């Protein structure tokens, strides 16, 4: 799989793709997924995530074909290594709660705007950039005054 980011080691572990029932394990899993989603979408320069089955099918981080298995305990094939839609929706909802995403449109939960950085982090970065630029401009103007015409 050709991805623009490095995948976490958990990516090859089938339970990574299923919501974990233990609260402590789920917290770690949610954090790992949040990082993976934000890193992947940032590397691809994509700002929005659609919360639907098509996203799970088309976005490579939401399935790992290398770990798909079939279960002979049931009549139907149970594919491991692919995220379920409910789990994706729950992850995005958690990202919204943490301030790392925002639902697009009122009352709908089908598309979210992703914040690669939180708004306060963007503000801090822009503020630092403006300060750095202003300092360079001031130094440049001081040098110009010292240089005879």
Q: What is the mean pLDDT of each run of 10 residues along the chain (149 residues)?
A: 80 86 93 94 94 90 73 40 87 94 89 89 93 92 71
Give the pTM. Answer: 0.76
Q: How far is CA 41 from CA 45, 48, 126, 134, in A?
A: 6, 8, 21, 32
Cα separation, 3 vs 14, whole angstroms? 19
Which pLDDT score is estimated for 78?
43
Four-residue CA torsion sign, 108, 109, 115, 118:
positive
Backbone angles phi, psi at 63, to 5 degrees: -150, 155
Which pLDDT score is estimated for 147?
61
Alpha helix ranges (H) inside the chain: 23-43, 53-58, 85-97, 119-146
Which pLDDT score is estimated for 69?
45
Q: Which CATH superfamily is domain 9-116 in?
A: "Winged helix" DNA-binding domain. Chain C. Domain 1 (1.10.10.570)
Domain extent listing, the chain: 9-116, 117-149
Helix or strand or coil: residue 147? coil
Which pLDDT score is estimated for 80?
53
Which pLDDT score is estimated for 76?
37
Contacts (Cβ under 8 Å, ≥6 apart) of 56: 62, 63, 82, 83, 84, 85, 88
What six digits make up the tokens of 103? 């639902």
């Amino acid at each position: 799989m050709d991805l623009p980011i490095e995948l976490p080691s958990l990516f090859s572990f089938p339970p990574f793709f299923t919501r974990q029932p233990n609260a402590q394990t789920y917290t770690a899993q949610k954090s790992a997924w949040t990082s993976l989603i934000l890193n992947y979408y940032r590397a691809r320069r994509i700002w929005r995530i659609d919360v639907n089955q098509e996203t799970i099918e088309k976005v490579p981080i939401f399935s790992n074909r290398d770990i798909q298995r079939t279960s002979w305990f049931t009549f139907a094939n149970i594919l491991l290594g692919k995220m379920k839609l409910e789990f994706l929706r729950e992850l995005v909802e958690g990202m919204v709660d943490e301030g790392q995403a925002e639902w697009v449109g009122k009352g709908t939960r089908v598309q979210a705007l992703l914040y690669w950085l939180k708004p306060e982090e963007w503000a801090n970065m822009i503020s630092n950039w403006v300060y750095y630029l202003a300092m360079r401009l001031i130094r440049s103007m001081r040098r110009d005054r010292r240089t005879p015409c």
